[in-house]
């Protein structure tokens, strides 16, 4: 659980920017950069904001993740029942063409199908019945924007783990120096902080493997 307060990160940014009184960079603006920073972290590192929860299935094979979810990471088990394993859709399509219509018994969801190309949708087999089937799922979620009215005493903590606090600070500094890029050296400072941000996250040319542990094979289509 995070213990780093949002205002502490904003204060550190103000000190580095040599703007302790927040004349050039008001706290409200730095907070916008902070909210963007949290989303940027999760975009590249979905494992930075994971939710493990009970999911009440809708009737049918097709299921939709909660609104705050970015992508599915894992489906563990039926609540109070058997484990659930991933299966390629091609296998069911070829062996059980009518699998979308097969109804599951109580606590009897057996498999799930997931394609990262459609990250907020997954399928279950046999199909679920609303009010009967609940499953344990793990997904990456988008942090909600944080609002602060009193920047001197607010106790709101960051939505991510404390280990990401320096990444968030670097992103705020990157956006701040980018704003003043017409001044000598600020464009270079902006890039330096963005490089620190990306290096800390291990961002590669392709999406991080932590985005989804499932192999994006053709069999999922």
Whether the per-residue pLDDT at 58 is higher than 90: the answer is yes
Domain check: are 124 and 56 in the same one?
Answer: yes
Pairing of strands 134-141, 50-56: antiparallel
Do 125 and 100 fall into the same domain? yes
Query: Between 104 and 32, where is the model more confident?
Result: 32
Residue 220 domain-assigned?
no
Instruction: Let me know if residue 218 belongs to a domain.
Output: no
State residue 210's pLDDT score.
47
Residues 92 and 153 placed together within one structural domain of the fold: no
The pairing of beta strand 85-86 with beta strand 111-114: parallel
Domain boundary among 92, 118, 141: 141
Mean pLDDT for the chain overall: 89
For residue 110, what are the domain limits?
50-141
Task: DSSP letter for 57, please.
Answer: P
Q: Is the pLDDT confidence value at 219 over 70?
A: no
Q: How many domains does the chain have?
A: 2
Q: Are residues 59 and 131 in the same domain?
A: yes
Question: How much is the pLDDT for 191?
Answer: 93
- Is 177 a residue whose pLDDT tops 90? yes
The predicted-structure confidence for 124-134, as pLDDT tens digits, reads as follows 999 999 999 99
Between helix 165-179 and helix 186-201 the angle, nearest 10°, is 160
Number of helices and strands in the chain (H, E): 5, 7
Tokens 């606590």 appear where? 107
211 pLDDT more than 80: no
How many Cβ atoms sit within 10 Å of the Cβ of residue 221?
Answer: 13
Calculate the alpha carbon distances from 132 to 77, 98, 107, 108 in Å: 14, 21, 8, 10
Beta bridge partners of 111: 85, 125
- Of 82, 112, 141, which marks where a domain is finished? 141
**Are 42 and 64 found together in one domain?**
no
Q: How far is CA 68 from CA 56, 142, 145, in A?
A: 15, 6, 12
Output the pLDDT for position 106.
72
Would you state the pLDDT for residue 181?
77
């Amino acid at each position: 659980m995070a213990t780093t307060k949002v205002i502490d990160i904003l204060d550190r940014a103000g000190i580095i920017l040599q703007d302790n009184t927040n004349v050039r960079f008001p706290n409200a603006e730095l907070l916008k950069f902070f909210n963007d920073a949290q989303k940027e972290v999760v975009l590249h590192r979905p494992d930075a904001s994971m939710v493990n929860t009970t999911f009440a299935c809708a009737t049918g094979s097709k299921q939709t993740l909660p609104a705050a979810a970015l992508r599915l990471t894992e489906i563990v088990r039926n609540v109070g029942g058997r484990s659930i394993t991933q299966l390629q859709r091609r296998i069911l399509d070829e062996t059980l063409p009518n699998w979308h219509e097969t109804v599951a018994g109580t606590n009897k969801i057996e498999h799930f199908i997931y394609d990262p190309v459609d990250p907020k949708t997954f399928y279950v087999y046999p199909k679920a019945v609303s009010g009967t089937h609940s499953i344990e799922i793990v997904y990456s979620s988008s942090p909600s924007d944080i609002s602060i009215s009193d920047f001197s005493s607010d106790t709101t903590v960051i939505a991510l783990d404390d280990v990401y606090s320096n990444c968030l600070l670097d992103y705020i500094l990157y956006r701040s120096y980018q704003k003043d890029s017409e001044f000598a050296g600020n464009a270079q400072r902006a890039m330096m902080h963005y490089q620190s941000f990306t290096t800390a996250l291990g961002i590669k040319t392709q999406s991080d493997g932590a985005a989804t542990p499932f192999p994006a094979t053709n069999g999922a289509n």
